């Protein structure tokens, strides 16, 4: 008799009945393995971990319900159809029936993923929650070259580019970008949309390294779903700011590969008319604006008009932006957005050729700045008098304007992360900028604070004080960031002292209250005194030297030992694991501190 004998006619129960191996699932579904993979990816079905792996630990298990879910998926039939259709084409090609081949290829069956998107993400927030991978993948493919050998078509790459730009345009327009980080892997962005933190990574805009240890079929299947998802998400987002989707772009700017800028302009144009204060010279529009009472139909027609007539002179942009903000801002925006929106409000940036233009064109408007670049279609020229900052990334520059500051691109990213305008001295042309720190790390939890993070913190504190009207500071002081820094430090020291004093007072008060309470409860003074004495005695012990300390250590160790002895084995293992983890973390921090000390010593000596 086999080990797991089950009498005939008796049904399986438990794990054996609820979980199924992949091979069996594939056979049940009557699809090939690649097709099964595609179905799983599109449908979002993943293996699950059974409590007991009945058919061996090396196998992958799916839940039976998941497989039944796939079984009833219409997409499965569609994929079958496509497979059969491909055979038809092949046959016609074999018979040299060119006419038929052409006709068949023209009318290939296709499938849509909208239903799947809705099924996987019933609410919009669900979709936003899972958008990280989607955005990262789409941005990655937007930088890849089209490869026929890997079936990466040009139009898919273009679609990825378009989708990513549309997303960035929305983020930039609604000022919901929160953090950015230039890493070796690419640039991380974190935005907050409808309360969801969405983080994505864009590769550096360079020729990507295409390796051959990657199965593009899998990636392209994922991309297929992600393209659909991001399209619908973008539609919803554009809808929410009353802009038509898909956007119609300025062909001139598009040809110059400034899609992002074209999109921004488009959005501005689209929402501008809704504000009802259009200034462009079309007569019908002006008539409508003349009638302050606007009904919805006219509004809609105006939207259409604006969309057709989206090529606006570039210099009107700033004014329009401000108008927009007056109308639909303020009431619905939270504190964070306001802060982000006004970070670069008074600045005008100009980008040199060598800086990552796409990234900066995305983030500077997201934080309220005006930006231009070298090339056709730029809103203003390099010689513009109002430019406050020029972003350069080269060792030296021949001709300089005295009216503006020449900073490295890292300054922008650091300012955004710190949410203050950092002093530019360290970021000036030709200098090695200070370390670029990740905004995603909680330094306190990590237990190690890099030097520059402390500096930034001090500057932030100073800036926050600066916002409030202070009696001691006059305008001159405020203008100089260096003095601000010093001010901040002094303030901090003062604050510390004050806090200590307050604590002392509080302690005394607390003691008084305690004694009162005790008296009420009827505890005699002598008991309290003895307790106090014991405290004093322990204090004395501490004063006494190592012997006592050792004894105390011993006691503590014994305590630990006892608690360990009386724990169950599982709990003991858990506690040891926790301790090992803590130890590892401590070692890491120690190593960092050691390296820092070494580097400081090197710098000094």
Which residues ranging from 413 to 472 are in contact with other proteins (CB under 8 A)?
Answer: 432-433, 435-438, 440-441, 450-452
Nearest-angstrom CA–CA distance, 187 and 165: 15
From candidates 6, 12, 48, 83, binder to other proteins by CB under 8 A: 48
Nearest-angstrom CA–CA distance, 370 and 320: 13
Cβ-in-10-Å burial (0-12, 13-18, 19+) of 25 comes to: buried
Compare residues 239 and 381 and give the one whose CB is closer to other proteins: 239
Binders of other proteins in range 367-406 (CB under 8 A): 393-394
Binders of other proteins in range 272-301 (CB under 8 A): none
Both structure tokens of 82: 């496509």
Nearest-angstrom CA–CA distance, 437 and 452: 8
Compare residues 451 and 500 and give the one whose CB is closer to other proteins: 451
Q: Does 521 bind other proteins (CB under 8 A)?
A: no
Q: Does 65 bind other proteins (CB under 8 A)?
A: yes
From the list 43-51, 280-288, 454-462, 524-532, the region that binds other proteins by CB under 8 A is 43-51
Q: Is 373 helix (H, G, I), strand (E, B) or coil?
A: strand
From candidates 16, 24, 28, 60, binder to other proteins by CB under 8 A: 60
CB of 103 to other proteins, least distance (A): 7
Q: Does 590 bind other proteins (CB under 8 A)?
A: no
- Helix residue spans in 194-258 (DSSP H): 216-240, 251-255
Compare residues 64 and 518 and give the one whose CB is closer to other proteins: 64
Nearest-angstrom CA–CA distance, 160 and 186: 17
Q: Does 574 bind other proteins (CB under 8 A)?
A: yes
From candidates 21, 28, 196, 199, binder to other proteins by CB under 8 A: 199
Q: Does 140 bind other proteins (CB under 8 A)?
A: yes
From candidates 46, 80, 512, 525, binder to other proteins by CB under 8 A: 46
Compare residues 198 and 463 and give the one whose CB is closer to other proteins: 198
Binders of other proteins in range 209-248 (CB under 8 A): 209-211, 213-215, 218-219, 222, 231-232, 234-236, 239, 245-246
Q: Distances in Å between the alpha carbon of 278 and those of 270, 321, 329, 341, 420? A: 11, 12, 17, 23, 34
CB of 427 to other proteins, least distance (A): 11
Looking at residue 247, what DSSP letter applies?
P
Compare residues 517 and 587 and give the one whose CB is closer to other proteins: 587
Compare residues 71 and 490 and give the one whose CB is closer to other proteins: 71
Contact 424, 187 (CB under 8 A): no
Q: Distances in Å between the alpha carbon of 24 and those of 20, 33, 47? A: 6, 11, 13
Compare residues 275 and 438 and give the one whose CB is closer to other proteins: 438
Q: How far is CA 138 from the centre of its chain?
A: 14
Binders of other proteins in range 325-364 (CB under 8 A): 354-356
From candidates 174, 409, 418, 422, binder to other proteins by CB under 8 A: 409
Nearest-angstrom CA–CA distance, 388 and 188: 26
Both structure tokens of 62: 């799916």
CB of 182 to other proteins, least distance (A): 5
Binders of other proteins in range 67-106 (CB under 8 A): 69, 103, 106
CB of 256 to other proteins, least distance (A): 22
CB of 574 to other proteins, least distance (A): 6
Strand order in the sheet with 370-373: 370-373, 348-351, 389-391, 405-407
Structure-token match 């259709």, residue found? 85
Nearest-angstrom CA–CA distance, 472 and 486: 14
CB of 63 to other proteins, least distance (A): 6
Binders of other proteins in range 158-197 (CB under 8 A): 181-186, 188
Compare residues 321 and 453 and give the one whose CB is closer to other proteins: 453
Nearest-angstrom CA–CA distance, 431 and 428: 6
Contact 341, 325 (CB under 8 A): yes
From the list 123-131, 330-338, 462-470, 511-519, the region that binds other proteins by CB under 8 A is 123-131
Compare residues 129 and 338 and give the one whose CB is closer to other proteins: 129
- DSSP notation for 440-492: T--HHHHT---HHHHHHHHHHHHHHHHHS--SS--HHHHH-HHHHHHHHHHHH
CB of 433 to other proteins, least distance (A): 6
CA angle 87, 90, 94 (to 5 degrees): 140
**Residues binding other proteins: what is the number (CB under 8 A)?**
105
Looking at residue 496, what DSSP letter applies?
H
Helix (H) or strand (E) holding 63: strand 61-63
- φ, ψ of residue 348 in degrees (nearest 5): -130, 125
Nearest-angstrom CA–CA distance, 349 and 355: 12
From candidates 566, 601, 604, 605, binder to other proteins by CB under 8 A: 566
CB of 69 to other proteins, least distance (A): 5
CB of 135 to other proteins, least distance (A): 12
From candidates 26, 40, 249, 459, binder to other proteins by CB under 8 A: 40
């Amino acid at each position: 008799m086999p080990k797991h004998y089950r009498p005939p006619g008796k049904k399986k129960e438990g794990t054996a009945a609820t979980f199924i191996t992949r091979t069996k699932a594939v056979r049940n579904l009557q699809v090939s393995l690649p097709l099964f993979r595609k179905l799983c990816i599109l449908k979002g079905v993943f293996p699950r971990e059974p409590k007991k792996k009945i058919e061996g630990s090396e196998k992958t298990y799916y839940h039976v319900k998941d497989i039944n879910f796939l079984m009833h998926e219409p997409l499965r039939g569609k994929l079958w159809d496509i497979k059969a259709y491909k055979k038809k084409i092949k046959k016609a090609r074999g018979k040299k029936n060119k006419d038929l081949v052409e006709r068949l290829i023209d009318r290939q069956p296709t499938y849509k993923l909208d239903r799947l998107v809705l099924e996987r993400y019933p609410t919009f927030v669900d979709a936003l929650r899972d958008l990280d991978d989607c955005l990262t993948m789409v941005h990655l493919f937007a930088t890849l070259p089209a490869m026929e050998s890997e079936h990466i078509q040009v139009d898919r790459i273009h679609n990825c580019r378009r989708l990513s730009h549309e997303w960035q345009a929305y983020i930039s327009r609604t000022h919901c970008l929160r953090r950015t980080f230039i890493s070796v892997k690419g640039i991380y962005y974190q935005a907050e949309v409808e309360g969801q933190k969405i983080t994505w990574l864009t590769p550096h805009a360079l020729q990507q390294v295409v390796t051959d240890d990657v199965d593009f079929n899998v990636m392209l299947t994922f991309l297929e779903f992600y393209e659909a998802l991001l399209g619908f998400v973008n539609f919803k987002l554009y809808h929410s700011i009353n802009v038509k989707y898909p956007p119609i772009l300025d062909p001139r700017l598009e040809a110059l590969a400034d899609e992002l800028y074209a999109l921004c302009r488009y959005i501005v144009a689209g929402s501008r008319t809704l504000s009802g204060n259009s200034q462009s010279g079309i007569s019908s529009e002006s008539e409508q604006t003349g009638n302050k009472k606007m009904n919805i139909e006219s509004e809609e027609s105006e939207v259409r008009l604006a969309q057709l007539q989206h090529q606006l002179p570039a210099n009107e942009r700033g004014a329009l932006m401000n108008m927009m903000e007056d109308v639909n801002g303020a009431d619905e925006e939270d504190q964070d957005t306001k802060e982000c929106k006004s970070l670069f409000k008074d600045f005008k940036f100009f980008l040199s050729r060598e800086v990552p233009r796409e990234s900066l064109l995305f983030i500077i408007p997201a934080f309220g700045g005006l930006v231009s670049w070298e090339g056709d279609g730029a809103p203003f020229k390099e010689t513009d008098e109002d430019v406050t900052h020029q972003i350069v990334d080269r060792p030296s520059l021949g001709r300089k304007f005295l009216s503006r500051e020449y900073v490295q691109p890292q300054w922008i990213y650091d300012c955004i992360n710190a949410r203050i305008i950092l002093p530019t001295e360290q970021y000036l042309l030709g200098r090695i900028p200070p370390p670029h720190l990740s905004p995603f790390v909680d330094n306190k939890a990590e237990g190690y604070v890099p030097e520059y993070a402390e500096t930034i913190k001090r500057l932030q504190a100073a800036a926050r004080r600066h916002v409030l009207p202070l009696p001691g500071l006059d305008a001159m002081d405020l203008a100089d960031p260096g003095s601000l820094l010093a001010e901040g430090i002094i303030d901090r020291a003062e604050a510390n002292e004050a806090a200590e004093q307050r604590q002392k007072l509080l302690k005394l008060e607390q003691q008084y209250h305690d004694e009162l309470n005790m008296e009420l409860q009827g505890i005699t003074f002598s008991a309290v005194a003895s307790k106090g004495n014991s405290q004093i005695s322990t204090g004395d012990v501490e004063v006494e030297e190592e012997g006592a300390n050792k004894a105390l250590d011993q006691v503590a160790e014994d305590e630990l030992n006892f608690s360990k002895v009386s724990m169950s084995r599982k709990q003991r293992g858990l506690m040891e694991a926790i301790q090992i983890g803590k130890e590892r973390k401590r070692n890491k921090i120690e190593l960092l501190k050691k390296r820092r000390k070494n580097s400081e010593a090197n710098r000094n000596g």
